[in-house]
Structure 1
Amino acid sequence: MVSPMHTVAVTGVSGNVGQRVLRLLDADPTVDRVVGIDARDPRFRPHKLSFRRLDLASADLVPVVAGADAVVHLAWVFGPPRDEELLARVNLAGTRRLLEAATTAGVKSFVFVSSAMVYGAWPDNPVPLTEAAPLRPNPAFAYAAQKVEVERLLADWAGAHPDAAVTVLRPAPALDPDNDHWLARAWRGAGAVRVRRPPPPMQCVHEDDLASAVALALRKGLAGAFNVAPDGWVPGEQVRPLVSPGLGVALPERLARRVMRLGWATGLLDTTPAVVPYLVHPWVVANDRLEAEGWRPVHSNEEALVAARPLPAWRALLARRRQEVALAAGGGVLAGLAGAVVAVVRRRRRAP
C-alpha cells in the first residue's frame, strides 16, 4: 500500500462481490471508513459504512468521493444488452464522472474490476492468455468492448496522475446463483439456445477470491493489469457436468447464430448472438502475475463452478416446475424460430 487507506469509496457495494469486499475492509484495522455507493441498499451495513444510494451517471459524485484515499470501482450494468445507449451512459459516462471526482479528491489508489473477456475469444488465442496479450474483444459484444474502453480511460487517468496507483483486475467469470443474468446463462449453456459442440476450456473465480484480490490490490498499492483466476482451467469435455446447463435447444453453431440473431431481433431471446465466440473459442487466463504479489485462490475452478449452481431443495423443485412450463410454452417458439431461419436460408439459396 502506497499510503494509509483511512477512507475507501466502493461503487457497487451492494452486489455480491461488493459485500465481500466490504466485509474485508470492515475487518481491516487500517480502514476507518467505507463510503458505499450503489443504486440499491446493501444487506451488510457495518458501522464503518457510510452508504450513499445514487446513480453514478447522474449524481454529483464530488462530495461523495471527497476525503477518500482509494476508490474501488465494481459497479457495472450488464443489460439489457440491446440498450447500448443505457449501458454507455452508466458504464462509460459513470466511470468518467467517477474519475473526475477522484481527481478532485486527490485519490491515491484506484481499483477497477474489468473482465478476462477483454482479450476476446478467438481460435488463435494462446492457452492461457497473459496480461501481455492484446485486448481484442469480439465485435458487437458491448460488455467486453465497454470494459476495454474503461481500461483506456483508466490508462489516460493514470498517465495524468503518476502518483496514484491504478489497478485493473481482469477476472474470469464470477458466477452468482442468486443473479442468473443473461450473460451467466449464456456462458453456462443454460440459455434458450446453445451451441451443439463441446465448450472451450473454462475458468470460474469464486467471489470470495475476487474480493481478496481487490483487498490485496488496495493493501499493496498494485499498479497495472492483473488476471484473476484459479490455477489452471476445466477442459471443455468436463465442463457440462459441472455447469448443469438448462433445457435450452442445442443447435449447430451456424444455425444457433441464426436463431439467436432472429430471436434477438424480435425480442424473443435475451442473449445477443455477439456472445457466441465466447462459447466456442478459448479465453482462459494465466494468474502468475497476481500470485507473484502474494494472492492465492482458495477455491478451484471446479469448486467455484459448483458453488455457483446449487439451489436449496425447495427452490430447485420450483425451478424445475418453471422449466417444465417454460419448455412447454417455449418449445414451439424455438422450433418456429429455427424453422423460420431455415426457410430464410433456403429462399436466399434459391434467389437468383
Structure 2
Amino acid sequence: MSVTAPGGLGSDELERAGLAVGDLAANLVKVVVSGGRWPLGKRVIERLKIDGGFDVREINQSTDVIAEPLDVFIHLAPGDHDALVERRRSAVIGTPELLQAATVQGAKHIVLLSSAMVYGAWPNNPIPLTEDTALRPDFGFAFARQLATVEQLVDDWRESADDRSATVLRPVPAMAADGASSLVRALAAGMGGRLGEDDVPAQFLHLDDLAQAVVLATRKKLDGVYNVAPDGFVHSARVRSLWGMAPRLRLPDRMSEIVSDIRWRFQRGPIPPGLRPYVRSTWLVSNGRLRSEGWTPTVTNEQAFVEGTDAKWWTMLTPKRKQEIALGAMVTAIVIGMITALVAVRKYRRRR
C-alpha cells in the first residue's frame, strides 16, 4: 500500500520519480572546461548546457585544479592567445598537471584547443594545409611553438592507454564582437607592405562556429586532429579595405623588417617580429575533415573579421550594392525635393 504525499503522488510514484532523476543524472556526460570565463569558453558552456546531455563544470581559475570525477576534459585555455597574454602565461604551463588530474578523476577523452598557426607560415606550404601536414611552427613565434608542445603532451596522454581518445582542434584566428583578437589585428596591420610581392590570403573564424566545433567534438568524441576554418579565404588587400586602412608604402623585405622592428621597439608598431612570417607566406587550411563529421561554418571570413574588429559595416557592401544604395538615396532626395516644392507652391498660392 502506498502512502499519498501532500502533492498527490504516492510513495511508490515518488520513489520511481527519484530513480528516474537519478538515472538521468547518471547518464549525463561529465565535462570539465578550462578557459570557461573567456568569450569562447562561455559559448561552449552555454551550448553544452542547452544540449542537455552534459553535466558541465569549470576549472577553478584561482587553483586550476580538477577535483571531481569527469568523462571529458575540454582544454580551451592553451588556444586563447589574448587570455594567455593577459595572464602572462605560456600555453604549456599547467597542462601536464591538468592531464594528470583528469586521469586520476577518470577522464577518457580530451578536447584540446590548439591553433592552425602550429603548421607554420612557409613559402613552400601546400595549399590548403591538411591535418596530415607536418608541424613546422615558426621559431620566432613562441605561441605556435608552445601549442605544438601542448599537442604532443595530449598525444602522449592518448597513446598511454587503449581506452583513451583525444580531439585536437586547430582553428584559424577566431573572433567575435565580444571577443576581439589582438592577434587578428596584428595580422591585418602587417598585411600589404611587400615590394614586388602579392599579398597573402587569410582566413578568419567566428567564435560561434568554433564553439560549435568544440561541442561536436565533445558529443561525438572525435579522435584525431581537425582544422577549423570557414569556407574559402579573403585576400589581405580586402582585409585592409574592410578595416578602412590606407594603402601602404611597399618596401623591400629587409628595409620593411628594420622599420617594423623600430616601430615595435618604440611601441608604435602593431606586429611583433615573430608574427611577421604569417603575413608573408600562405597558411590556408582545409576544413574538409571536420565538415565530414557534420560541422558547417555559418559565418564567412569577411563577416567574422568585420564583427571582430572595428571595421564598419558598409565596407562589406559590394560595388553593385553601393551603387543601388546611392541610387536609392538620390531618388529619395529628389522625391523629398519635389514634395517640398509642391508644399511651398501651395503656401504661396494661399497667400495670394
The TM tier, using the shorter chain, reads 0.7 to 0.9
Partner of 1:35: 57
| 2: CA distance, partners of 1:139 / 1:195 | 22
| 1: CA distance, partners of 2:181 / 2:28 | 34
Count residues with an aligned counterpart.
284
Unpaired runs of at least 5, structure 1 = 38-51, 314-352
| 1: CA distance, partners of 2:213 / 2:249 | 36
Indicate the SS of the match to 1:53. Answer: coil
2:277 partner letter: P
Q: Within the alignment, does 1:21 sit opposite 2:44 as a pair?
A: yes
Shift in CA distance, 262/62, structure 1 to aligned 2, threshold 3 Å:
same
Partner of 1:12: 35
Partner of 1:145: 145
Shift in CA distance, 225/165, structure 1 to aligned 2, threshold 3 Å:
same
Could you tell me whether the CA contact under 8 Å between 1:203 and 1:284 is conserved in 2? yes
Deviation at 1:69, TM superposition (A): 1.2
| 2: CA distance, partners of 1:257 / 1:172 | 25
| 1: CA distance, partners of 2:126 / 2:93 | 33
1:61 partner letter: V
Across the aligned residues of Structure 1 and Structure 2, the Cα RMSD in angstroms comes to 2.9
Could you tell me whether the CA contact under 8 Å between 2:173 and 2:183 is conserved in 1? no
Partner of 1:44: none
Partner of 2:69: 67
| 2: CA distance, partners of 1:182 / 1:29 | 34
Identity of aligned residues (%): 39
User: Could you give the per-residue CA deviations for residues 162-214 of structure 1, whole angstroms, max 9, x where no partner exists?
Assistant: 3122000000110244454542221121x7x9734653111111111100100
* TM-score in terms of structure 1 length: 0.72
Q: After TM superposition, list the pairs within 5 Å mapping 1:125-140 onto structure 2.
A: 125-140=125-140
More displaced 10-residue stretch of structure 1: 131-140 or 249-258: 249-258
Shift in CA distance, 146/220, structure 1 to aligned 2, threshold 3 Å:
same
Indicate the SS of the match to 2:74. Answer: strand
Indicate the SS of the match to 2:89. Answer: helix
Partner of 2:4: none
User: Could you give the per-residue CA deviations for residues 211-267 of structure 1, whole angstroms, max 9, x where no partner exists?
Assistant: 01000001101011000011121234433223x055797552322322333344556
| 2: CA distance, partners of 1:166 / 1:278 | 28
| 2: CA distance, partners of 1:299 / 1:182 | 20
Partner of 1:199: 199
| 2: CA distance, partners of 1:251 / 1:111 | 42
Partner of 2:320: none
Shift in CA distance, 79/233, structure 1 to aligned 2, threshold 3 Å:
closer
| 2: CA distance, partners of 1:130 / 1:276 | 22
| 2: CA distance, partners of 1:172 / 1:215 | 17
2:118 partner letter: V
1:34 partner letter: V
| 2: CA distance, partners of 1:194 / 1:82 | 26
Partner of 1:53: 61
Partner of 2:289: 289
| 2: CA distance, partners of 1:241 / 1:312 | 10
Shift in CA distance, 301/311, structure 1 to aligned 2, threshold 3 Å:
closer
Indicate the SS of the match to 1:306. Answer: helix
Partner of 1:168: 168
* TM-score in terms of structure 2 length: 0.72
Indicate the SS of the match to 1:131. Answer: coil
Unpaired runs of at least 5, structure 2 = 1-25, 314-352
Deviation at 1:96, TM superposition (A): 1.2
Partner of 1:95: 95
Could you tell me whether the CA contact under 8 Å between 1:81 and 1:272 is conserved in 2? no
